[in-house]
Amino acid sequence: MAVFYDYETRQYSLHTANTSYIMQEREGFLVHLYWGKKLGGDCSYMFREQGRAAFSPRMENCEGFILDDIPLEYPCWGRADMRTPALEITNHDGSVIVDPRVVSHRIIKGKPAIKGLPATYAESDDECETLVIELFDPVGGIKVELYYCVFAQRDVITRYASVTNRGEEPVFIDSIASASVDFDSINFGTHCRERNIERAPLKHGRFIMSSRRGASSHVHNPFLILTSPGTDEVSGDAYGFVLVYSGSFSAEIAANQFDTARAVIGLNRESFRWKLEPGEVFTSPECVMSYSGDGLDRLSSNFASLFRERLCRGKYRDIRRPVLLNSWEACYFGFDSERLMLIGDSCAELGIELMVIDDGWFGKRDNDRCSLGDWFVNEKKLPGGIKRISDHLAKKGVKLGIWFEPEMISPDSELYKQHPNWCLHYNNRPRSEGRYQLILDLTRKDVCDYIYDSVAAILREGGISYVKWDFNRNMSEAGSPLLPADRLREVDFRYYLGLYSVLERLVTDFPDVLFESCSGGGGRFDAGMLYYMPQVWTSDDSDAIERLKIQYGTSLVYPMSAMSAHVSASPNHQTGHVTPFDTRFTVALTGSFGYELDPTKLSDEDKNKVRETAAFYKQYGEVFARGDYHRLRDPHSENCSAWCFVSQDKNVCVAGYVLTHVRLYGNNERVALRGLDPDAIYKEKFTGAVYRGDQLMNFGLHAPTTLEFHSILWVLEKQ
């Protein structure tokens, strides 16, 4: 059992293999007592009424109960807690107050689904236990249910909240967080940012990392990690929060005058307001939380394995992904059937399993100024359609993938001529274009149906095994004229309910298609999208050296199998860096691997390299898809980067090292590996050298120190 309730002390205890999360009901409030290494017993003594009023009011009839100084589980705005709330409600009479108190709880085996929203899941009731605590505010008629889903073996607890209007008049939810956790000290730093990591000490005031862009965004990513000072990969406290949502979010950590800290993560309160009619329920997205007392490596692996195994779904969840070649950096818009078929022939020759036709196959699209929404084949470029190409490729044993950007509409399109009001907009305002395009209004059912129908029609023609689903601008003037004035701040959330419903239909109806999410690279690399699409184009920056930081930061919470990484041409199209093929390959080795170049233009030497590397990935693909990933050297602070993948049975380890900056008289560089069997003997594939696991993990392997951008790849196999 993972969830316990003690009727005498009114203590709720959630236990995982290595952690405990303890709460208690006091004066009807749900008080947070502890989150950290596993412990047992009555924890009531941990509660401390310090009576630190400092201008903060006392609760009625509770001498010493200064709400502003009490660690709360789900703080609500309106009474005497002055810190950031998890829930704010404007009642029908205009009062901004909600004061729900604990009334009951129930413990459920397994994990309920969240209707309409992506979420982690359990495959059997033994994997997870859920505690639901019900609170009620009789004055406002507001019921709040707090869900705590405990994946005991994975050291993960997920949280979300639902609010029901039991009153007789509508109310407005002004803000709703998925999770809030109070810490009794501010002895932390913060970890965040879209995969280029920033670590900052926690100071007084509010640190908010958020997106109001209508997408989780490139700028910030919906996760936050709190670490104690000095926490590294293998030691120290790390508390992680990841939101399962793809729209505007906010993650806040605030420290107050009593040197306590509160983390609040959920929908972005600045762009949200929800009208809740009597009898209606609103449920927040899920927040996944994990604590590690053994540093970041353990924390990352808790998140990564949960997301890989119990967030991603479908037939590709557990298998190695096909080696693919994407046409974008090979030819951009400049292709026709003949050129694609030649590229396809090269794929077959080189062992590439899938060819993707990226942007440019539909409407009259020869550049990025038109045709989004017109999802019919451009017969001028592709006479005979997609089918002709897929048939040609099928004969050679190569599968076909195709690009869509279904949420968008170009003003220069047939669709726009027919439906100029299908985009997000306000009637009396101009419409700002981004990359010459507007965003379709997915709060509308007819628009969602159009998107489903146009993608499904192409997929039903057959021959397509993969879809790249792109999204190339963020939201502005995000109005929806069909919504009444008092519901316009619901657009962001309603948009994502619409998108998720379309995606759910598509992945259900086309279970054999591998979907890859993209938003100009990783502008929507979030746990929400992973529920529908098990991999994401990690970044439009395909430069191997740049990717080191991006992939390092992404690996903090997301699985490597979700990271699409391709060997691109050299010099790189974005940065002009000249990087050896081997380094480009070593960096691209993640759980979903491919090429972003024109194979027909390669030298014979490079063609051989593609052939060898595609074969290598197929041989060791299982290690990349499902192995444990360990960060060994940090490219943000060091002149190199290193990592290793270790198969779950510890029989195979593939490790990579890249030298990013040569220093005169470089260090006597060696890389210590992690996650091996210390007593086992491992043989290195390319040199034949033999090592003990403990040698590899403590002394390590000598790494090159002289050639900038050069790399080394080690493959160690247990003897």
Catalytic sites, residue numbers? 470, 540
Strand partners, 173: 89, 274
| 526 binding ligand DGJ? (CB under 6 A) | no
The minimum distance between CB 434 and ligand DGJ, in angstroms, equals 12
| 378 binding ligand DGJ? (CB under 6 A) | no
| 515 binding ligand DGJ? (CB under 6 A) | no
The minimum distance between CB 375 and ligand DGJ, in angstroms, equals 14
Q: Which one, 472 or 474, has the nearer CB to ligand DGJ?
A: 472
The minimum distance between CB 400 and ligand DGJ, in angstroms, equals 16
Instruction: Give me 87's structure tokens.
Output: 């829930």
| 521 binding ligand DGJ? (CB under 6 A) | yes
Residues 76 and 72: their CA atoms lie apart, in Å, by 9
| 359 binding ligand DGJ? (CB under 6 A) | yes
Detail the DSSP E strand segments found in 259-394: 261-267, 274-276, 281-283, 287-292, 324-326, 354-357
The minimum distance between CB 356 and ligand DGJ, in angstroms, equals 9
Instruction: Give me 398's structure tokens.
Output: 């190569």
Q: Which one, 360 or 635, has the nearer CB to ligand DGJ?
A: 360
Percent of the chain that is helix, strand, coil (3-state, to 5) = 25, 30, 45
Site for ligand DGJ in 471-490 (CB under 6 A): 472
| 433 binding ligand DGJ? (CB under 6 A) | no
| 531 binding ligand DGJ? (CB under 6 A) | no
Residues 305 and 243: their CA atoms lie apart, in Å, by 16
∠ CA 332-608-716, nearest 5°, is 110
The strand pair at 563-568 and 592-596 is best described as parallel
Amino acid at position 145, single letter: E
Burial class (CB in 10 A: 0-12, 13-18, 19+), 688: exposed
| 441 binding ligand DGJ? (CB under 6 A) | no
Q: Which stretch binds ligand DGJ (CB under 6 A): 336-344, 516-524, 661-669, 684-692?
A: 516-524
The minimum distance between CB 474 and ligand DGJ, in angstroms, equals 13
H or E element in which residue 618 lies: helix 604-626
| 291 binding ligand DGJ? (CB under 6 A) | no
Q: Which stretch binds ligand DGJ (CB under 6 A): 234-242, 515-523, 581-589, 614-622?
A: 515-523
Please provide the DSSP assignment of 460-502 as one string: HTS---EEEE-------S---TTS-GGGGGGHHHHHHHHHHHH
**Site track for ligand DGJ across 297-336, x = CB under 6 A:** -------------------------------x--------
Residues 177 and 683: their CA atoms lie apart, in Å, by 51
Q: Which position's Cβ is nearest ligand DGJ?
A: 359
**Site track for ligand DGJ across 142-161, x = CB under 6 A:** --------------------
| 358 binding ligand DGJ? (CB under 6 A) | yes
Q: How many residues sit close enough to ligand DGJ to count as binding (CB under 6 A)?
A: 11
Q: Which residue's structure tokens are 């190695």?
A: 320
Report the candidate in 525, 519, 597 with the shortest Cα–Cα distance to residue 563: 525
Q: Which one, 19 or 564, has the nearer CB to ligand DGJ?
A: 564
Residues 540 and 472: their CA atoms lie apart, in Å, by 11
**Can you tell me whether residue 388 is helix, strand or coil?**
helix
What residues have CB less than 8 Å from 308, skipping those under 6 apart?
317, 559, 561, 562, 626
| 363 binding ligand DGJ? (CB under 6 A) | no
Q: Which one, 518 or 652, has the nearer CB to ligand DGJ?
A: 518
Report the candidate in 247, 176, 178 with the shortest Cα–Cα distance to residue 216: 247
Cβ(646)–Cβ(628) below 8 Å: yes
**Can you tell me whether residue 285 is helix, strand or coil?**
coil
Helices and strands of the chain, counted as H and E runs: 12, 38
∠ CA 49-107-140, nearest 5°, is 60
Gyration radius (Cα) of the chain, Å? 26
Site for ligand DGJ in 674-693 (CB under 6 A): none
Identified binder of ligand DGJ from the candidate list 322, 520, 559, 621, rule CB under 6 A:
520
Handedness of CA 92, 98, 101, 102 (dihedral sign): positive
Q: Which one, 13 or 472, has the nearer CB to ligand DGJ?
A: 472
Report the candidate in 302, 243, 255, 362 with the shortest Cα–Cα distance to residue 628: 302
| 407 binding ligand DGJ? (CB under 6 A) | no
| 559 binding ligand DGJ? (CB under 6 A) | no
Q: Which stretch binds ligand DGJ (CB under 6 A): 84-92, 136-144, 513-521, 659-667?
A: 513-521
What residues have CB less than 8 Å from 593, skipping those under 6 apart?
321, 323, 565, 566, 617, 621, 624
| 470 binding ligand DGJ? (CB under 6 A) | yes
| 403 binding ligand DGJ? (CB under 6 A) | yes
Q: Which one, 233 or 470, has the nearer CB to ligand DGJ?
A: 470
| 371 binding ligand DGJ? (CB under 6 A) | no
Identified binder of ligand DGJ from the candidate list 184, 540, 622, 684, rule CB under 6 A:
540
| 634 binding ligand DGJ? (CB under 6 A) | no
Identified binder of ligand DGJ from the candidate list 307, 537, 657, 709, rule CB under 6 A:
537
The minimum distance between CB 372 and ligand DGJ, in angstroms, equals 10
The minimum distance between CB 551 and ligand DGJ, in angstroms, equals 16
| Binding footprint of ligand DGJ on the chain (CB under 6 A) | 328, 358-359, 403, 470, 472, 518, 520-521, 537, 540
